[in-house]
Amino acid sequence: MRQRITLEAARIMAEEHEADYYRAKHKAAERLGAPNTRNLPRNEEVEIALTEYQRLFRAHRQPQWLRTMRLTAIEMMECLKHFHPRLVGPVLRGTADEHSVITLHVFADTPEEVGWFLLDQHLSYLQGERRLGYANGDHAVLPSYQLMVSDIAVELVVFAHNGLRQAPKSEIDGRPVQRAALADVRALVNQDNQDNQDNQD
């Protein structure tokens, strides 16, 4: 049953565009007739199954969307370089699709500084907030900006400058979340291009 829930949760995330692991797992358990099970898979297991599902059933379009989103992330990171942007989430991990959001951590003296910069760039946005946890058990509610770039959703989560040294925990494994600087994202796109070329050869 645990394996069946894992596979169904991965399918729900891929086909029904459910971005939350907790909700995907509980939807899967309910559909499989085990709504009260305590033997739910870990998020890491679902992430692995999601990657495999995309490789098997969405290979004709998911890699193209991932590349488009990484290129858009690079464009935004170049624009926001003053704020030391770091890419996080599905676009970095490689599981993003056309319904995903590009999430960037940015670092500034004040959140308003980021908002003023976006206005100077003639970028419209909505303000929000993001609640993040840390490995030591602390939580923080951080301001965020949501905007659209080339019809792709982008979220900027604003940290103080010292937030560069302490990353929040990952929803996947509870460890400090993986962050990628601009050079790292460029390297990912170059590797993707090389892999595509090798596959064509």
Q: For residues 122 and 106, what is the distance between their CA atoms, to the nearest angstrom? A: 18
User: Is 25:42 a contact under the CB 8 Å cutoff?
Assistant: no
pLDDT tens-digit readout, 40-63? 999 999 999 999 999 999 988 999
48 & 145 share domain: no
CB atoms within 10 A of CB 37: 15
> C-alpha angle with apex 180: 95 to 191, nearest 5 degrees?
65
* Residue 65 confidence (pLDDT) above 70: yes
pTM exceeds 0.85 for this model: yes
Q: For residues 15 and 2, what is the distance between their CA atoms, to the nearest angstrom? A: 20
Question: Hey, what amino acid is at 113?
Answer: E
Q: Mean pLDDT throughout 109-124?
A: 96
120 & 166 share domain: yes
> C-alpha angle with apex 85: 175 to 62, nearest 5 degrees?
70
Q: For residues 92 and 86, what is the distance between their CA atoms, to the nearest angstrom? A: 10
Which residue, of 14, 33, 57, is where some domain finishes?
57
104 & 194 share domain: yes
**166's tokens:** 């302490």
Q: Mean pLDDT throughout 130-146?
A: 94
CATH number at 173 reads 3.30.460.10
Q: Mean pLDDT throughout 93-111?
A: 95
172 & 84 share domain: yes
Q: State which residues form the domain around 8.
A: 2-57
Q: What is the pLDDT of residue 60?
A: 87
3-state secondary structure of 140: strand
Which residue, of 42, 57, 72, is where some domain finishes?
57
49 & 74 share domain: no
